[in-house]
Structure 1
């Protein structure tokens, strides 16, 4: 019987769950349950390099930059007239973990032809959390630009300043 290998995303999620569990009396956590995935082992303490500003001019070719969502679209998302096809919560993750999980989540949503998703970053203890600042910068980098068409701060009941509505591009290069 062939064992399925865990993806980096699965390892991140399992690690988060394992940290919340209390071992049975006389038992201990297996060491591998709390180890970071190999791809993240060197990144746990180092922050990711800052990306260019979302609206910065990057004349590196025909790549399109994510724009802000227009007001009517944001309003429709806030009022539930446009469907939020998925959500991902990045609370409590390191930048490395959050980056891998976000890219994987957005790629899967894009492949499934989902249009709007909610990304929950949290606000941080002082209102300017690390992920709250980092995610918009990531969305302007090449791996994300190819699939993200726009983003905007979410409505209060969807997380407000600690969450973003993200519009994914249409497959096949439309608009």
Structure 2
């Protein structure tokens, strides 16, 4: 038979109640504080398929493309630089309209001419200055400056080379000091006077 447990007497029960009432709990807050709820794990976003590296491309991926469709127009477009004749044609008209029309059509004969063809830039610049200032000083109005069109040599390099350095440089010289005050208008010559290889230079009247 098992051992029978002895019941406490009334005096023992009263003594135990006094002892239990005088005790203090070591962690009273921990006994009654509820445990915080555990948040569920956040779902992991699935990566979008990369069409550049995907082995399969479905018909839905290509639905936005139509064979033969035109290129979408953009706000920015590359505009090539205007050519030299275009820049001269768009320059402000400073001389008489009728005289300018006759000049560009080759109906006015130049009163003097200078041929810079074959010269270097260093040689041609001072020659042009002397010619223009002397022509204005003697009262001439229309003179012809011949530059040549430039030789087309072999151009095998990665950077394109501009041909006809004098043809491109002379108009700049004519609009710079000391020639700018003497020059009223510059235009490409008519074919009968050299065409793209020459310029009409219409001079201002001399102040003398």
TM more than 0.5: yes
RMSD of Structure 2 on Structure 1 (CA): 2.9
Q: Does the 8 Å contact 1:78/1:158 carry over to 2?
A: no
- Shift of the 129–67 alpha-carbon distance from structure 1 to 2, 3 Å rule, reads farther
For 1:150 and 1:137, how far apart are their aligned partners in 2?
12
Give structure 2 stretches of 5+ with no counterpart: 1-86, 153-161
Q: Secondary structure at the match of 1:167?
A: strand
Structure 1 residue 125, shift from structure 2 partner: 1.5
> Residue in 2 aligned with 1:119?
145
Count residues in correspondence. Answer: 111
For 1:66 and 1:99, how far apart are their aligned partners in 2?
24
> Residue in 2 aligned with 1:109?
135
Of 150, 158, 175, 1:140 maps to 175
> Residue in 2 aligned with 1:23?
none
For 1:164 and 1:69, how far apart are their aligned partners in 2?
16
Q: Does the 8 Å contact 2:112/2:142 carry over to 1?
A: yes
- Shift of the 145–92 alpha-carbon distance from structure 1 to 2, 3 Å rule, reads same
Matched, 1:153 2:181: no
- Shift of the 68–93 alpha-carbon distance from structure 1 to 2, 3 Å rule, reads farther
- Shift of the 140–162 alpha-carbon distance from structure 1 to 2, 3 Å rule, reads same
Q: Does the 8 Å contact 1:76/1:82 carry over to 2?
A: yes
For 1:92 and 1:66, how far apart are their aligned partners in 2?
31
Q: Return the TM-score normalized by structure 2.
A: 0.47
For 1:111 and 1:144, how far apart are their aligned partners in 2?
12
Alignment of 1:69-108 (within 5 A): 72-77=98-103, 81-108=107-134
Of 165, 172, 175, 2:200 maps to 165
Structure 1 residue 121, shift from structure 2 partner: 0.5
Query: 4+ runs of 1 displaced by more than 4 Å?
Result: 65-71, 78-81
Give structure 1 stretches of 5+ with no counterpart: 1-53, 56-64
- Shift of the 68–164 alpha-carbon distance from structure 1 to 2, 3 Å rule, reads farther
- Give 1 or 2 for the bigger CA radius of gyration: 2
